[in-house]
Every structure is written in C-alpha cells, then in structure tokens.
Structure 1
Amino acid sequence: MKIELTIDPTCNEPKLIIITNEVTDEITEIMKLLSPDSLERVSAYTHRGAKIVEIKNILRIYTENKKVYIQTANGIAEVKLRLYELEEKLNPKQFVRISNSEIVNINAISSIDISKTGTIGVTLNGGIQTYASRRYVAKMKKQLGL
C-alpha cells in the first residue's frame, strides 16, 4: 500500500482520499479506523439507571434473549444498539467477533484453548469463559495473528 501526503496551505480541513481498484477487508478496516463515527463510549443501562461506559473498558458484548449487553470488570449492562451496529463502529484492532452473538475485546483475552474437536475456548480477564463458533474461527485467528 502506498501512502501519499500533500501539504496545501489553502486547505482548511484535512481530506483523506483512498484510491483503489476494489474494496478489500484492509480498506474497510482503514475506513473504520479513520471514521468520525467510531465509538469511544457507549450509553448503558442497569437497574440503577443509565451510565456512560468507555469502549476500552468493555470485556465483551453479547446478545441474550434478544437484548444486547456489555460486560466490564464492574458488571453487566444493557445497550440499546444492535450487535451489528456496534461491530461496525468498533475498532477492529481492539474487538473481534467470535460468534453470531458475541464480540470480545482482544486486549481482555487472557488465554485461548484450541481443542482437537475444533472448538475454541476463550478466557477473558476476570476468569470469564466463552466460546468461539467454528464459523468465526478463521477470522478470529487472522485478527489475533494465530
């Protein structure tokens, strides 16, 4: 990939142009990273009321009973966004989808157990145990560099 920078004293606002013959996964990831829509915090709701949660503090995001929840070291809270909406706005270098119903923070993964049957057990900080579905194993391995 080539990177080109042009300094123009008459330019009032930076403008980024991507020129490519096709949209690849790499281009899509770059666009997500540079997007002004990327999330830094999200509103979450518990029985005590609403609170703002920093994205970096989220261990995992999952669905259960048609609701979306985030889990941090401080507990679990519901969010009003859909899982796919969150995935579109999250930094792909920080979060990876491991199943149809779950996204985990890569930085919160403490260990990965790859069994002979093909299932992947994922242990997050705080001893939280979850599993990656076979459908997402290849994507997960690629993002984690395994």
Structure 2
Amino acid sequence: MLIRTEIDGKYKEIELHVCNSEETGEVRDIVHELHELYDRRIAGVDARGNRCMLNPGEVVSAYAEGQKVMILGTDGTYTVQKKLYELEEELGERNFVRISKSEIVNVGKIKNLDMSVTGTIKICMKNGYETFVSRRNVSKIKERLLSERSVKNS
C-alpha cells in the first residue's frame, strides 16, 4: 500500500482518496475505517478562526452560549455548528451526561463533586473547570455516577 501526503494551501479541509484498480474487500475495509474515524470527530473553530477536528475524548464540556454551541476541550474552547442535542447524540450517552438544559459534560473528565450546598451539585473537572448541575438533573446525575461506581467496583 502506498500512502502519500500532500500539503497545499489550495485545500480548505482534509481530503482523503483511496485508489485501486478494483473495489476489493481491503478497499471497502479501509473506507469503512476512515468513515468510522472521522465520523466520531467533531469539527470546531478555535478562537483564532482555525478549523479543528476534536476527538470526543478531548471534550470536557459542551454548552450553549446564546445562539452558539461551545466545546471546552482539554486545550481550548471551540465553536461548533451543531445544536447541543445533536452533539449529545453524536457523543453518546456512554461518556457524556446532560447536567442542565444548556450543558453536557464528559463523565471521564470529572475530578469530584461538591455537594456541600443543599440541593445542588457542583462539578469540578480535572482541568479546573467548575459547573453546576441543575436541580432538575440532580437525581439523574447521582444515579448515573453511582451506577458508574458500582460497575467499576464489581
């Protein structure tokens, strides 16, 4: 297999071409793997206006800010062209949980929970970001995190 990289200013986004004399199982497998890889990544724009592809594992939080949806990543904040519910579906329930009407967080990036104020939960993320669970979602968050703990302990 020959792999070639071409960097040129004429390209506005990444293009991948798979070429062969015929369509084979190997070609189908490669195309399928490429789709799987890139379908999981999220397109965002950083503060400088650069387009970036984010891996779901890099996402700490996604939240609505006015009419925009923002992603707080491990290395910066990005604007995405999706609605929060679309992002929530794309990221999946396995690693992400809705904590309010306007925010979802990556469960794997949670450092600790502060329940010192009655009826509320403050979430402290590993990168220092802090946010609050809405009252409507408190029981759901407790249930989710307790089920995660019981799975890890078994």
Deviation of 1:81 after TM superposition, in Å, equals 0.5
User: Which structure's residues are more often strand, by fraction?
Assistant: 1
Higher helix share: 2
SS at structure 2 position matched to 1:77: strand
In the alignment, what sits opposite 1:56? Answer: 57
Gaps (5+ residues) in structure 1?
1-35
Identity level (%) = 38
2:67 is the alignment partner of 1:66 = yes
Deviation of 1:48 (Å): 3.1
* Matched residue, 2:105: 104
Q: CA shift at 1:116, angstroms?
A: 4.2
Q: Which has the higher contact order (CA 8 A, sep 6+)?
A: 1
Is residue 45 from structure 1 mapped to residue 45 from structure 2 by the alignment?
yes
1:111 and 1:122 in contact (8 A); partners too: yes
CA deviation map 1:10-68 (0-9, x unaligned): xxxxxxxxxxxxxxxxxxxxxxxxxx8xx621000122321100011100001112210
What residue is the counterpart of 1:119 in the other structure?
A: 120
TM-score scaled by length of structure 2: 0.66
Gaps of 5+ in 2: 1-35, 148-154
Aligned twin of 1:78: 79
Q: Secondary structure at the match of 1:145?
A: helix
In 2, the alpha carbon distance for the partners of 1:41 and 1:143 equals 25
Residue 115 of structure 1 and its aligned partner are, at CA, apart by: 2.8
Pair member with larger Rg: 2
In 2, Cα distance between equivalents of 1:142 and 1:113: 16
Structure 1 residue ranges, 4+ long, deviating more than 3 angstroms after superposition: none
Task: Work out the CA distance in 1 between the residues paired with 2:135 and 2:102.
Answer: 13
Aligned residue identity for 1:65: G
Report the secondary structure of 1:44's partner residue.
strand
